[in-house]
Structure 1
């Protein structure tokens, strides 16, 4: 019986094995699930605690916030999608606002970035801008740039009128208009002068509205319009010639035919690689003086007779004479001649004598130097006209204007403030610098600390001076004052080497980038907690529409003036419209469309003119709105 009972139990276990296994599996799964939920909950709590710690740390250490915004914003702004990117400034603003807004809305933390940092670095930025546009600001107005001036004025004033009255019509609150001008013009510094109008008391907030909210409106108007205008202005300038029924490539070739041809790309002045020699179409060959007609001729006299070949060394027995001594040739001398390969190969022996292997005659150290053109007899002349006068032993590698490379063409006119890059021996380069009333820059320039401090001092004092007109106080503002002193300093320095010569482009570019980035980061910390209030209702749509109209209509009006009334070359006109809109990417887009560098010819004067005027208009927008 017991056996039978045990047998029944054994049979039941066998038949119900699946149920036992299922029960065991469910039990184990339930246990693991509870354990997993516990682990996941702990992980979430740890992550939340870590985020709380990070945002608390950032809030109590605002400099961490500033540098973190720049460190993330810079690479974010460089991300390119189909040839378009935000740019480092907008990237920094987006990241800074995101961090500040998150810290406030989720953790209730405010990031109090020091305003002194914003003021100092904004003034540094404005000084750097002034140093950039200064060399061409006055000379561009004084010499043959009337059409470029008109184009700049059309763009900048139509932008102001569209935004100012459009904002009134749409009922936008104070602050938005200045932000839209800044964003639609892609000139972030307008936000700086608008903010200075608030800080100085020139702008009074209406009842029921705080100054912080006005600042937030400025940032909101800028952020939306900047992104849209940055994208669409490139497309507009790039395709304006084609939209007008013009072949942009043909327009570029026509302009090059008028000016000549040239398409080399060189590093900007005083930047990494600017002094690289590269491959030059020149050579130094040694010849023995066998022809009597050369005997008794000085090195300088021979250059004027044969401008494409310069005698740099004269070997006479054990004596080696340098071209700087202007020696007179004697029969049997061995001379080192520098010139184009084909000219030396084809005409060397027939003109001078037998080519010989004499290392001493060919031992000439060649260096690359940047030379700012000072006020001299060569101002306003073409490359072709000046080459025979300054070209002894040198090769003209590149020409720059306002940080942009221009084609080195026979008919290109050089202006005061241009940077001419030459390659040649030390003595030859110094001779060119002397004739151009400038100092050759080989590796470095004088320190900028003195000029920077003096400019900020004068600009700050002048910016505080106020004049009341019709009951409204008008002041230049410290930022605009620093830009003006930068323009004047740059203007003077390019005309007198005793003032220190041109500013290093590397130093100037660094001041411009870091100054604007830190100003924008501080601005993001200030307006981040308030910016959500600026995006209520249909205001986003209004900003987007008004910003696009203000960004695109002004250059179209300038195009109509230049193309239909003045019959300007479309390639150069496209560069001028890009300069009037202060958009270097748009100018580069025009160069891509034209497959030529020629649009850069029209860029500098409108850019220099509008860079200053748009700041004044941005300030007036805040005061008069």
Structure 2
């Protein structure tokens, strides 16, 4: 009876709480209308996000919804842009990045022109997405970056300078020649170069007093001219440079895919395997080794223990013993009996010609043949094995572990029986998981196996360091100089992958699918946000013949310099067409352009020279923007 009473009292208290909450929710809006504090509304507001209602129907309501819900705008632009980017006309396509930009700009322009809705998405979203892209790209090209500096650093610098000089000359003197008002030249440089920071430098020249507007003009009017020129030239230049960079090799008669393969061979020193930590490093590749199962009949094997057989026949390692349809635990060092089935892993040639006679007839027993194999990188941390040859290591009885590749200081070395290993080297091993881990212990390291996860700790820390380095600003004669957050973060990715190629324990591995997703989604989401914010500025700049000159000069400033620089890179510096294209897009500061040539060539090798010319021209473009404002 007491228990029943307790249950009734508990039920009563629960009903009272529910009734109180119901009244609170119902009374909250009414209290708020009367001007009294609404406790219910504040409680609900802490739990549920408030969704702004769409008050219009039809297309107006649709565009209003995109304004109220910016995430919906970004996702729609990504969806439609990716679909449009896949459409190909005579092998020419926009690609997902240019498609996303085009869709976003069209949506934002229609909203502004038809319904007076101005989209404005916080820039922190686009900035963060761009940094994710830059870091993921740095992870991919890091090991090749320093090799690229050694092989063609001077050429990369030369290409960057050519792009910058020609862009400045075309935009500044083009605006002066057609009589455009002050501010337009700086905006054209900023937009055609797709470097928004140049607008900040130009604005800084005015606020500091280094530039004084002519009589009859205000600082605000000059600033509006800069913004209009930037908006027009930015949109046209971004789409134009993506298409130009993508097809530059084809325009000059080069095969992008074939040249990319040659460049990869050149910049990897002829290496056959990806360095530790690189995409595809821990992928099982073709091997002369194979698994076979044999029924034991030969007297050399009968009555011998596993340890005795490992010492007598090190080239025929036994991986599994099946007896009466059961797997025998090898750690107990069992003795082989007649009728046992043993699984061995060795060179296919030896397995076919020797092992059958040495052990017995081959078996198709599934339990014996189903031995999972792994691939792993092991950092040699034992001085005891330093100096030993591959053949000597294998003679110790490695349990079916094969040395697939040998790396020293991030470079692949020729592999043979007489190749010696040293402390700090990295060996890539293939074989059963337990055998790999045992071999790793013998080598003084631990096995780095494939993973499906992304290393968030290293990602966050490296991006933070790169970001902080990028915002460090040094002011010289009133001109602020900074590496830039994008360049800082890509160099952070380069650094992580560089150190990981020396020691795979350093923050790895990162699954290639995760890295590729960060790269593709980061860039396209950045472009989607950017398109929403730029579209309205295009509308405001439309009018008179000024827009025609802005479009013509902006396109010329964006496209002519890369054409010239690419030709110089190939014909004068003798660069591979894909390497010249990568240096050119770095000189143009076009990250979407880099993505386009990587898609076209089906390779990331174009990104090797990109950071060199990118970092240089970022600084030069800011200097040029400052002086274009002063000289207006």
Q: TM-score range by the shorter chain?
A: 0.5 to 0.7
Residue in structure 2 matched with residue 554 of structure 1 by the alignment:
565
Partner of 1:93: 101
Which of the residues 60, 65, 73 maps onto 2:68? 60
In structure 2, C-alpha distance between the alignment counterparts of 1:302 and 1:465, rounded to whole Å: 65
Aligned residue in 1 for 2:551: 540
Partner of 1:69: 77
Q: 1:319 and 1:588 mapped to 2: Cα distance?
A: 49
- Asked if 1:176 corresponds to 2:180, the answer is no
- Post-superposition offset of 1:100: 1.0
1:225 partnered with 2:225: no
Q: CA RMSD in A?
A: 5.4
Match of 2:461 in 1: 454
Structure 2 residue runs of 5 or longer lacking an equivalent are 1-55, 176-183, 214-221, 384-389, 586-593, 626-632
Alignment of 1:112 onto 2:126: no
Distance apart, 1:356 and its partner CA: 4.9
Name the structure 2 match of 1:132.
140
1:279 and 1:202, CA in 2 relative to 1: closer, same or farther beyond 3 A?
farther
Inter-partner Cα distance in structure 2 for 1:120 and 1:427: 41
SS of residue paired to 2:622? helix
Partner SS for 2:291: strand
Contact 2:436 2:447 in 1 (8 A): no
Looking at structure 1, the residues matched to 76 and 509 of structure 2 have their Cα atoms a distance apart, in angstroms, of 33
**1:299, distance to aligned residue in structure 2 (A):** 6.7
After TM superposition, the score normalised by the length of structure 1 is 0.64
Question: How much does 1:237 deviate?
Answer: 6.9
- Give the 5 Å matches for 1:347-496: 347-350=354-357, 352-357=358-363, 359=365, 362-369=368-375, 371=377, 393=400, 424-430=431-437, 439-445=447-453, 447-448=455-456, 450-496=457-503
User: What's the counterpart of residue 526 of structure 1?
Assistant: 533
CA–CA distance in structure 2, aligned partners of residues 438 and 620 of structure 1: 46
Distance (Å, rounded) in 1 between the aligned partners of 2:254 and 2:323: 63
Cα distance 1:559–1:249, how it changes in 2: closer, same or farther (>3 A)? closer
Give the match for residue 26 of structure 1. Answer: none
Query: How does the TM-score come out when normalised to structure 2?
Result: 0.64
Equivalent residue number for residue 618 of structure 1: 618
| Secondary structure of the corresponding residue to residue 448 of structure 2 | coil
Match of 1:512 among 508, 516, 519: 519
The answer to whether the 8 A contact 1:286-1:356 is kept is yes
Q: Deviations over 1:450-496 (max 9, x none)?
A: 33333343334333321112331112233333333333334344544
C-alpha separation between the residues in 2 aligned to 1:250 and 1:465? 38
Alignment-derived partner of residue 195 in structure 1: 196
Shift in Å, 1:233: 1.9
Question: How far apart, in 1, do the equivalents of 2:299 and 2:77 lie?
Answer: 72
Contact 2:318 2:342 in 1 (8 A): yes
SS class of match (1:337): strand
Give the whole-Å Cα distance in 2 for the aligned partners of 1:241 and 1:110.
41
CA separation in 2, counterparts of 1:221 and 1:426? 54
Q: Quick one: distance in 1 between partners of 2:223 and 2:599?
A: 42
d(CA) in 1 for partners of 2:565, 2:392: 38
Cα 1:251–1:493 shift into 2, 3 Å? closer
Give the corresponding residue for 1:209.
223
User: Aligned-pair distance for 1:97?
Assistant: 0.8
Contact 1:456 1:482 in 2 (8 A): yes
1:112 aligns to what SS in structure 2? coil
Paired residues for 1:74-85 under 5 Å: 74-85=82-93
1:202/1:365 Cα in 2 relative to 1: closer, same or farther (>3 Å)? farther
What does 1:138-153 align with in structure 2 at a 5 Å threshold? 138=146, 140=147, 146-153=150-157
**Alpha-carbon deviations, 1:520-573, whole Å to 9, x = none?**
22221222122253882244344444544333433333333565xxxx9xxxx3
**Separation in 1, partners of 2:377, 2:123:** 39
- Tell me how far 1:216 sits from its aligned partner: 1.4
In structure 1, distance between residues paired with 2:280 and 2:261: 30
Kept in 2: contact 1:100–1:524 (CA 8 A)? yes
Partner of 2:58: 50
Structure 2: distance between partners of 1:387 and 1:218:
63
Are the equivalent residues in 2 in contact too, given 1:72–1:92 (CA < 8 A)? yes
Partners of 1:398 and 1:158 in 2: CA distance: 41
| C-alpha distance in structure 2 between counterparts of 1:424 and 1:70, whole Å | 42
SS of the residue 2:121 aligns to: coil
Distance 1:176 1:249, change over 3 A: closer
Q: Which moved more, 1:361-370 or 1:614-623?
A: 361-370
- Tell whether the 8 Å contact from 2:289 to 2:345 is kept in structure 1 after alignment: no
Deviation string 1:170-195 (CA, Å, 9 cap, x unpaired) is 337224345444xxxxxxxxx4xx22
Q: Shift in Å at residue 445 of structure 1?
A: 3.4
* 1:69 Cα deviation after fit: 1.5
Q: Is the 8 A contact 2:301 2:359 kept in 1?
A: no
Shift of 1:68: 1.8
Q: How does 1:24-35 map to 2 (within 5 A)?
A: none
Residue pair 1:376, 1:437 contacting (<8 A) in 2 also? yes
8 Å Cα contact 2:247/2:597 also seen in 1: no
* 2:462 alignment partner, SS class: helix
In 1: Cα distance, 2:610 partner to 2:80 partner: 31
Offset of residue 134 of structure 1 = 2.9
Offset at 1:224?
A: 4.2
* Count, aligned residues: 511
| Residues 224/587 of structure 1: CA separation in 2 closer, same or farther (3 Å cut) | closer
Quick one: distance in 2 between partners of 1:494 and 1:560? Answer: 33
Within 5 Å, which residues of 2 pair with 1:208-287? 208-210=222-224, 212-213=227-228, 215-217=230-232, 219-236=234-251, 239=254, 269=280, 282-286=290-294
SS at 2:92 equivalent? coil
